[in-house]
Amino acid sequence: MSSTATTRMRADDLDPDLRRPYRMMPPVAVQRAWQRRLANRAMRLAPAPRLSDGTTFEVVDFDVPGTGVRVFTPAGGSGGALLWIHGGGYVIGAAQMDDRACAGLAARLGITVVSVQYRLAPEHPFPAPLDDCLAAWEWLQAEASVRGIDPERVAVGGQSAGGGLAAALVQRLHDRGGVRPVAQLLYCPMLDDRTAATRAHDPRRHFAWTNRDNLLGWRSYLGAAPGGADVPAYAVPGRRADLAGLPPAWIGVGDIDLFHDEDVAYAEALRAAGVEVTTDIVPGAPHGFETIAWSSELAKAFRGRAEVWLGDRLVRA
C-alpha cells in the first residue's frame, strides 16, 4: 500500500499481529518542547541491558557534552562491528532505548556494537547530530586494534532518523575516502525532507509517526522549512544525486509507514547506481513496528532477516 493514500488509517490497516501493541501505544508527543524533554528524560532512565553469553557493556563519553557511545563487546568476537544510531525524528531519543537490540546482536553475531548518543535538534540542528556520528565512527576506528575489531569489517546502521543519519554518514565517509563502511543496515530510514513538505500526507494520520511530526522533525533538524530547493550536503540523504560506490544496503520498512515511498525510492536509486540493495517490505506494518511490537512474530521474523543479512557481510563473508 502506498503511503500517499488519503483515507485516515484504522486498526484494520494493521497486520493482526500488530493491532494490540499499537492499540496500547500512547500517542507520540513531540510538538512542544516540554513533551520532548519529558520523553528524552524517560528514555535515558531505561534500565541497564541484560547481557548474555559473556557480552560486556561500557559507556564512553566524548568531550562534547551529551555525546558518546555505548559499547557491547561479545566474548570471542568475530572481528566485525556495527555502528548503531537510534531513532526519534531528530528531536527525541536516546541510545539507551536500543540497548536490548544492541546487546542481542553482539551476542548472537559475535560482533562489537557501538551505539551512538548524539545531540538532538532543534537545540542542535544539522550538522551537529551527523558530526557526533562521525566522531563515533572515528572513535571506533581508533579503538579497533585494541578491541579486536577489523577496521574494514564495520557496518553502519540505524532506525528511523538514525537510519537517515546512517545513510548520510555512509555518504560522507565515501566522499572523504579512507576506510569506509562495508554495509548499511537501514530500518524505516527517515531519508527525504520532501515527504514532510507534502501536505497530502497529513490526512492519513500514520501510526507512530505522522507527517505533522515529520514536519517538526525536519524543520528542527534543517533549521528551515523542509522541501526547499537546496539543502546542505549530507543533510538529506534521499536528495543525493550520485550514489555510485556506496556499500551494500538493507532497507526494511512497512508498507503503511509514512517513509515507505521515500525508502523505496532510495532503494531504487541505489540499485540504479549499481549498489547492491536488499529491500524488505512488510505488509500491514507501520513505523517502528520492529521495536514497538518487539515480541510479535512479524517483528521477530523481520529482525531475523536483517540479522542474517548483516551476518553475511560481517561474519560469514
Instruction: Determine whether 52 is an active site residue.
Output: no
CA distance 184 to 186: 6
Statement: 11-314 belongs to CATH 3.40.50.970:
no
Instruction: Determine whether 160 is an active site residue.
Output: yes
pLDDT of residue 210: 92
pLDDT of residue 27: 72
- Answer yes or no: are the C-beta atoms of 43 and 162 closer than 8 Å: no
Q: Which of 257, 261, 263, 296 is catalytic?
A: 257
Rounded to two decimals, the pTM is: 0.94
CA distance 310 to 16: 28
pLDDT of residue 11: 87
Q: Which of 86, 124, 201, 287 is catalytic?
A: 287
- Answer yes or no: are the C-beta atoms of 9 and 264 closer than 8 Å: no
Backbone φ/ψ region at 53: left (φ over 0), alpha (ψ -120 to 50), beta: left
| Selection from 26, 191, 166 nearest residue 98 by Cα | 166
Is the torsion defined by CA of 290, 134, 33, 213 positive or negative? negative
The ranges assigned to domains in the chain are: 11-314
Q: Which of 3, 115, 160, 296 is catalytic?
A: 160
Instruction: Determine whether 257 is an active site residue.
Output: yes
CA distance 220 to 88: 12
pLDDT of residue 229: 94
pLDDT of residue 3: 47
Q: Return per-residue pLDDT of the chain as tens, 317 residues.
A: 444 555 788 888 999 999 999 988 777 778 777 678 877 777 777 777 778 778 999 999 999 988 999 999 999 889 999 999 999 999 989 999 999 999 999 999 999 999 999 999 999 999 999 999 999 999 999 999 999 999 999 999 999 999 999 999 999 999 999 999 999 999 999 999 999 999 999 898 899 899 999 999 999 999 999 999 999 999 999 999 999 999 999 999 999 999 999 999 999 999 999 999 999 999 999 999 999 999 999 999 999 999 999 999 998 76
pLDDT of residue 96: 93
pLDDT of residue 282: 98
Give the Å distances, CA to CA, from 204 to 62, 222, 259. 41, 24, 13
pLDDT of residue 6: 57
Identity of the amino acid at 302: F
pLDDT of residue 76: 84
pLDDT of residue 1: 44
pLDDT of residue 42: 78
- Answer yes or no: are the C-beta atoms of 58 and 5 closer than 8 Å: no
pLDDT of residue 45: 76
